[in-house]
């Protein structure tokens, strides 16, 4: 059985990922793990974690929030975020023996995946490798 992990951090990418996630969930030869983070967990952006759960997906939540907005605290938070996010994702990938990771996190706009698919895949793969 193949083990796939999808990472989602915003409602816009979830709209694109959802049909893929449904297909994987319904395939008995593939086990699906989903990591939810970012804007899905923010009330200001609709707390769309509930939408994902309502769609019947079991999720791993990575909730790393920044409290202060000064330049110094933002810089510190970004450094801590990279370390904590990497550790938590690696923990999930190792625990579930994941074969494939798919995410749109390496690009700033999901629509880039339609107009520059090859570069998008390269960024996705290299972004995942850097996580490990």
Predicted pLDDT of residue 16: 84
pTM here? 0.72
What contacts 24+ positions apart, CB below 8 Å, involve 19-26? 20/102, 21/55, 21/57, 22/55, 25/56, 25/57
pLDDT, one tens digit per residue, over 27-61 is 999 999 999 987 888 888 789 999 999 999 989 99
pLDDT (tens digit per residue) in 9-36: 888 888 888 999 999 999 999 999 999 9
Determine the pLDDT at residue 103: 74
| Cα radius of gyration (the chain) | 15
């Amino acid at each position: 059985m193949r083990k796939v992990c999808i990472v989602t951090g915003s409602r816009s990418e979830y709209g694109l990922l959802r049909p893929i996630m449904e297909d994987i969930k319904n395939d008995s030869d593939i086990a699906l793990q989903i990591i939810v983070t970012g804007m899905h967990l923010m009330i200001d952006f609709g707390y769309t974690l509930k939408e994902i759960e309502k769609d019947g997906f079991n999720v791993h939540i990575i909730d790393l929030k920044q409290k202060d907005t000064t330049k110094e605290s933002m810089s510190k938070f970004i450094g801590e975020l990279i370390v904590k996010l990497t550790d938590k994702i690696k923990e999930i990938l190792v625990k579930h023996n994941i074969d494939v990771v798919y995410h749109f996190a390496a690009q700033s706009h999901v629509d880039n995946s339609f107009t520059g698919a090859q570069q998008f895949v390269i960024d996705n793969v290299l972004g995942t490798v850097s996580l490990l």
